[in-house]
Amino acid sequence: MAQVAQMRRGLLPYCVLAMLRDTERYGFDLVQALGAVGGLVTSQGTIYPLLARLRRQGLVGTTWRESAAGPPRRYYQLTSAGRAALADFAREWTQLRDSVDALLGTGKKDMT
Amino acid sequence: MTDDQLAAAYLKRLRRAAGGLPRARRTELLEAIQAHIAEARAAGAVPLRDVLDGLGEPEEIAAAAGGGMRAGAGGHQIAAVVLLLAGGAVFFIGWFAGVVLLWTSARWRWYDKLLGTLVWPGGLAGVAVYGALFAVSSGGSQVCSGAAGQAATCVTQGGGGLPDWLRTFVFVLILAAPVAVAIRLLRRARRTPNQDEPLIPEPAVL
């Protein structure tokens, strides 16, 4: 299902932003948390290039923090631009999901 | 392999696969993956092999970083193809160098590498050697009969019982095969970078 892989790929950046909505996370922590959701990530390693890209696009910021165990960790947090992008997406997604569910007859039948 | 060796081999593969990235981005990617491996090992909950499996193929990660591989065949790939084709002329050493370059390039899949190695060992020089052997072992020989003083009648016998046109055809085919493989390898080297599109479009819709 190449299309599903494509969809997953398109949604993943927003899922990463959503993971950072309430708390900052370091890379390993974020990847673990995403992996636990299931069905989202097939190759965890590809999250890191994605994080780098989100940083270049100004949607996440990074901070190095000392770690109690081992070397410093790079923490990722949402920027205000990232927060706005996430909010936009959440709105669009809710609408899109409801529409598709209605067409598939799997979700709420009553759209009004 | 120890865990240290396993991790080092993985990172080496990634470094090579990410060779086409700008230096800063490649360093950032390698550091991130290295940190991930270190964290996972410190946590110790999962065998390293499973951690690396979870990360995915280094080539896939490099491709997700965008332009994991340089567009177009690089010097490494062109040298490999030229040596495979013509390197056999120098006592086959050139051809062996071509094989080494072929297998050390991240730009080709294993089946392309196998094809490049097997068709044909020695390249074009190899074909010349096989051709000579073929001609000697089964080439036409003249059988003459007739008593001394008489005009001898000579009969040319076709080699190996094959008609001449078929032998020519087979020879041309054998000669054309490595050239075709070389063209295929060059095309594949060029096409590989475009097989995986970036993870998210850039500039993103985001």
B22 touches chain A (CB under 8 A): no
Task: Say yes or no: B110 and B177 in one domain.
Answer: yes
Task: Say yes or no: B57 and B77 in one domain.
Answer: no
Task: Say yes or no: B10 and B110 in one domain.
Answer: no
SS3 string, chain A, reads CHHHHHHHHHHHHHHHHHHCCCCCEEHHHHHHHHHHHCCCCCCHHHHHHHHHHHHHCCCEEEEEECCCCCCCEEEEEECHHHHHHHHHHHHHHHHHHHHHHHHHCCCCCCCC
Domain span including residue B77: 72-206
A35 touches chain B (CB under 8 A): yes
List pLDDT tens digits, range B38-81: 999 998 889 999 999 999 999 999 988 875 444 556 788 888 88
Structural domain boundaries of chain A?
2-104
Task: Say yes or no: B37 and B76 in one domain.
Answer: no
A70 touches chain B (CB under 8 A): yes
List pLDDT tens digits, range B145-169: 555 555 555 555 545 567 888 888 8
B24 touches chain A (CB under 8 A): no
* Cβ distance of B200 and A9 shorter than 8 Å: yes
* Cβ distance of B39 and A85 shorter than 8 Å: no
Task: Say yes or no: B186 and B110 in one domain.
Answer: yes
Top-level class of domain A2-104: mainly alpha
Task: Say yes or no: B36 and B82 in one domain.
Answer: no
Task: Say yes or no: B138 and B156 in one domain.
Answer: yes
What is the spatial distance between Cα B57 and Cα B37, in angstroms, rounded to a whole number? 14
B39 touches chain A (CB under 8 A): yes
Task: Say yes or no: B105 and B13 in one domain.
Answer: no
What does the DSSP assignment read for B65-127? TS--S-SS--HHHHHHHHHHHHGGGTTTHHHHHHHHHHHH-TTS-HHHHHHHHHS-TTHHHHH
Q: How confident is the model at residue B92 (pLDDT cuts 50, 70, 90)?
A: confident
The interface predicted TM-score of the complex, written ipTM, equals 0.89
What is the spatial distance between Cα B96 and Cα A54, in angstroms, rounded to a whole number? 45
* Cβ distance of B39 and A70 shorter than 8 Å: yes
Q: How many domains does chain B have?
A: 2
Domain boundary among B29, B64, B99: B64
* Cβ distance of B202 and A53 shorter than 8 Å: yes
The pTM assigned to this predicted structure is 0.58
The yes-or-no verdict on residue A30 having pLDDT over 90 is yes
Give me the residue from A14, A26, A52 closest to B29, CB to CB. A52
List pLDDT tens digits, range A81-102: 999 999 999 999 999 999 999 9
